[in-house]
Amino acid sequence: MKHVLNTRLLALAAASALLLAGCGGSSSGESNFADAELSQSSASGRVIDGYVSGATVCYDANDNLACDGSEKKVLSNGAGQYDLDALLGANQLLAIGGQNVDSNSPNKLVLLAPGANAPIGSVRQITPLTTLFAVLAKNVKPSEFNDAQIVFNQLFGIPQGISALTMDPIAAANNASSSQANRTAALAVQKLTVQLANVVLGGIFLSGDDSAANQMQQYVSILAARTVFQSGNFSLVSSATIRQILTTANSAEPSSELVSRIVQANGAIAQA
């Protein structure tokens, strides 16, 4: 069953990539999570690539990867926190812009989280890792959602029982009252989150295109590389993996220097 769902999820992600490449996002307004019975009425959490302040967070009603004038939106505060209501029927949560609190540098990433019809409660973090999941599980039914999280954790080495969609990995990794196992798991999630961001930023640099559609294509290529290296050799600190991702996502061949820079950066994160 898990293998079948795994294959289906990856096929859906590939289909989403074709849609994004063709028109920059769907304007159908249909719910990503089909056949939903219930919807959350609000969402709150943090925008995280480091904490991102001043990010525009919206409910992307028409699925076009932009916060349009008619869509409910808020700004994340100085700690990256947001609180957004009126989410009934939301396709996905979208965060754009803002400033990384730690580095004081502009946030270049377009970030997603599953929409209101995903049965995970009102707490939803918005990170590179939740973006990867949102791309993978774009058309998963609510009845399959828990299985989708299990498969996702298996694919990317996240301990079962950990939800990267709801956990703030920075806070959890530094929570002195939490168990060592939980802090270690949270740190692993945060490392993976930063490594994903480095790969996507590398793809932006290579293509010269920071559009939302191109950024989503980078995530789809990460998912595709995970299938290519399914024997266990997938690693975001591997030159082969990074080259595969960048070559698949972009029309240009990555230079050895770019691949090396990403590998070195991600290796340093892994060792931190």
pLDDT digits (tens, 9 = 90+) for 36-71: 334 456 788 999 999 999 999 998 888 899 998 888
Retrieve residue 176's tokens: 């002195």
Cβ 122 vs Cβ 37: under 8 Å: no
pTM: 0.86
Q: Which of 3-7, 25-29, 152-156, 222-226 has the lowest mean pLDDT?
A: 25-29
Unique residue bearing structure tokens 């932009």: 66
For residue 101, pLDDT beyond 90: yes
Cα-Cα-Cα-Cα torsion 94, 98, 99, 105, nearest 10 degrees, comes to 90
